[in-house]
Amino acid sequence: MKKILITQLRILGALMLRETRATFGTSQLGYLWAIITPALGVAVFVAVFGAAGRRPPFGASLALFFATGMLTLEFYKKLSAALMTTFNANKALLTYPSIKETDTLFARSMLISATYLVIMILFFGMLILLGQAALPRHPDQLALAFAMVCLLGTGMGILNAVMLSVWESWQYVESILTRPLIIISGVFYIPSKLPTAAVDILKWNPVLHLIEWIRTGYYSNYASTVLDKNYLIWFALLSLLFGLTGERLTRRRRAGQ
């Protein structure tokens, strides 16, 4: 059992290294751009809303409020979208009997998660140094929320990969379906302050709960009446279960393609 575990860890490590080189190239500049790009996206939104005189919906820092929303959303979308193309990108590797499709999925998920962990640490660290944010007040909850982004993004990413393997147009459909997430996930506003009728609809969106959990972990007094951790956990676990089950059921189909 120990030998199998060690072998599996080596396979995942080698696949992560391959993914790193394939995604970012061999230069450090490629990985640096992967870190800078999401941070610049948040900075642009902060600059635009700041110039328009927008006040932060919560707290004293507009940058911190937007960052907790946008970086969480971008992290989730990166996982769910990048894992979708994993099967097609690793067909050559799957000729090796020791490498399974799930290995390639989890290796890519681990690389993206590690990258966004670095992005968030650097971005929030910079805000703290610039006096735009305090230290996270509930780091344990923040860590749990980050783990839930990993879990939900991976589960939905595997489901997307399965869907793409049986329907070539799914990539375009998924892009359309996820486009409204920036509006319906509470990135720019506090969901708890919306009318009850709106909350009753928006609370079905698991990404909204991810952002609410992140903010609850970062701020000392962010009291969310929308956050339902049990709903989010069950949604993430079921998406992972359905994704892995779908991968198993469609494996022969992909092998024959």
pLDDT of residue 19: 75
Burial class (CB in 10 A: 0-12, 13-18, 19+), 89: middle
pLDDT tens digit sequence for 77-100: 999 999 998 888 777 776 667 778
Q: For residue 104, give the nearest of 154, 153, 38, 54 by alpha carbon.
A: 154
Predicted structure pTM score:
0.92
**Mean of the per-residue pLDDT values for the chain?**
88
Report how far residue 163's alpha carbon sits from residue 167's, in angstroms, rounded to the nearest whole number: 6
Q: Give SS3 for 168.
A: coil
pLDDT of residue 185: 95
pLDDT of residue 27: 57
Instruction: Quickly list DSSP for 28-72.
Output: HHHHHHHHHHHHHHHHHHHHHHHHTTPPPSSSS-HHHHHHHHHHH
Question: What Cα–Cα distance (Å) separates residue 102 from each residue in 59, 84, 156, 244?
Answer: 42, 12, 14, 8
Ranges of the chain whose pLDDT falls below 50 = none
Question: What Cα–Cα distance (Å) separates residue 65 from each residue in 139, 145, 187?
Answer: 16, 16, 8
Going from N- to C-terminal start, the domains of the chain cover 2-255
pLDDT of residue 24: 64
